[in-house]
Amino acid sequence: MATKAGARTGARRSNGNGGARGGATFGLAPWLGVAVIAILLDQVTKLTVLKTFQYGEFHPLTSFFNLVLVYNKGAAFSFLAAAGGWQRWFFTLLGLVAATVIIWLLKRHNGQKMFCLSLSLILGGALGNVIDRVIYGHVIDFLDFHVGGWHWPAFNVADSAICVGAVLLVIDELRRVRRGK
């Protein structure tokens, strides 16, 4: 009987996903690796644009896409960009708190591939933008899509990782709900 209880405890312990959803345990390292790759891609592309462009300079690549160097002192869609400077530290702190919560979730649910992949991309994107805020005081944006005379706000690889992660998170949740029916 002690052997069966030990086996059950061992199985529960090795699952590592809090019992919310099934899956093999992968540990934290692969998911942090995904986040590091997102951060590296983000920072390398930003440094390349910083060394190649002057502020405000743009280069059309297609009829709907430019590379441009702009700075964003706010958040998405330049939210709070015109605030008095406090927003730099607010969004830095917010990014660090989000990163802490995400790492906790990754530890708790490391066997859920889609969930952890989505969180890893969000983590990498959040930390990529935190790095900018700490070093430069603003986020470096350079991807500029437009249709006719209308432009989406410029963004970067970190923003893209966050968006892809968010979409994957929604897909994962929809799949989970669907399996539950």
Active site residue 159: yes
Type of residue numbered 73: K
Lookup: tokens for 13: 């312990």
**Catalytic annotation on 172?**
no
Candidates 42, 144, 159, 172; catalytic one: 159
Q: Which of 42, 132, 141, 144 is catalytic?
A: 141
In three-state form (DSSP H/G/I as H, E/B as E, the rest C), the secondary structure along the chain is: CHHHHHHHHHHHHHHCCCCCCCCCCCCCHHHHHHHHHHHHHHHHHHHHHHHHCCCCCEEECCCCEEEEEEEECCCHHHCCCCCCCHHHHHHHHHHHHHHHHHHHHHHHCCCCHHHHHHHHHHHHHHHHHHHHHHHHCCEEEEEEEEECCEECCCECHHHHHHHHHHHHHHHHHHHHHHHHC
Catalytic residues, by residue number, are 141, 159
